[in-house]
Amino acid sequence: MRIGILGTGHVGQALAGGWARAGHDVVVGSRRPDAPESAAKLKGLIGAGVRIDGPAGTAAHAEVLVNATPGTASVALLDTIGAPALAGKVLLDVAVGFLEDGTLSHPLVSLGEEIQQAFPDTRVVKTFSTLDRGLMVAPDSLEGPSTVFLSGEDRSAKEVVRGLLRDLGWPDGSLLDLGGIETARGQEHFALLFTGIAEATGTYGFGIRVVLPRADAQAVSDD
């Protein structure tokens, strides 16, 4: 599959490498794709067959476009590409917006909702915003199973994203569909708890798991 990743930071690089290793045709979008520092920064990915292009070229290449840009800048960057170029595409959004004081830039809604509202013909799916970049591409690094969440309006787009997550090693049993794009609020707002857990445990490389009640316990609670 042709995957375009907007964002050359740690998250974008991790996902580009993971999907390239899985055999996908990956292009990473940079604001300055021809700059020597861009090539130096992405040297390892380029060696793995990943190409660099500008944001518009990355979007044109992509069957699935991944937003791994800072959440405070995501909509503005997508605006430079334009709604017509994004129409019909699956947009996998992993970003969370933070202000300089560490608070969320979207305290009442979510970035995923904001993107969907700004680009109504784009099929936005929110996922991976509850995980550190290393775990995104290495689910086997955990001691046990973990849960990954999906939010979005388009069922077929979610199936495409599920396939891409499976290609990174995530089993179907770990993938939990929360419902419409409004449920992305919970995913993004988890960032505040994520920070607390990381500080308490000394690592960002942890997962979370939704644990359901036993059948007999559920029967008691339903009575």
How many residues would you count in the chain? 223
Question: What would the two tokens of residue 94 be?
Answer: 């992993």
Q: What is the mean pLDDT of the chain?
A: 94
Planar angle of CA 117, 62, 34, nearest 5 degrees: 105
Nearest to 169, CA basis, from 196, 192, 148, 191: 148
162-178 pLDDT tens trace = 999 999 999 999 999 99
Model confidence at 81, pLDDT cuts 50, 70, 90, reads very high
| CA–CA dist 191, 194 (Å, integer) | 5
Instruction: Dump strand ranges (E) for 7-80.
Output: 25-29, 51-53, 64-67
Lookup result for tokens 């560490």: 102
58-67 pLDDT tens trace = 999 999 999 9
Question: Domains in the chain, start-ordered, CATH in brackets?
Answer: 2-222 (3.40.50.720)
| CA–CA dist 92, 173 (Å, integer) | 20
User: Would you say residue 30 has pLDDT above 90?
Assistant: no
* DSSP structural state of residue 212: P
